[in-house]
Amino acid sequence: MSRAVGARFMAYAGHLRGRNLAIVPKRLIVQSWRAANLKKRDLDSILVLVFSKVRGGGRISMVHANVPDAHAASIRRGWEEYYWNRWRAYLRV
């Protein structure tokens, strides 16, 4: 994935596509996301990751907005299974 604002990305064999909207190194990532199974009328979702220092380490705060109600539960599970659990395991070196 590129660090450039405006750069496009793809993941999961094209199931997910998006674009970097804003990047502040070591602080903030904002991206548009679009899953292949969304309807044309559905808006792209917006992902915001904020990185901050806390005593003893760091914190990642996340907002994932504009997720269609019909997909919210599966996306919530996907975040836990494919991202948060793996990040926790990786960062607990």
As a whole number of angstroms, the distance between CA 74 and CA 13 comes to 18
Q: How far is CA 26 from CA 47, 62, 81, 83, in A?
A: 16, 14, 24, 18
As a whole number of angstroms, the distance between CA 30 and CA 18 comes to 10
| Joined tokens for residue 82 | 């494919």
- Domain segments of the chain as ranges: 8-91
As a whole number of angstroms, the distance between CA 83 and CA 80 comes to 6
The size of the chain, in residues, is 93
pLDDT tens digits, one per residue of 40-50? 999 999 999 99
pLDDT tens digits, one per residue of 33-75? 999 999 999 999 999 999 999 998 889 999 999 999 999 999 9
| CATH number for the domain formed by residue range(s) 8-91 | 3.30.530.20
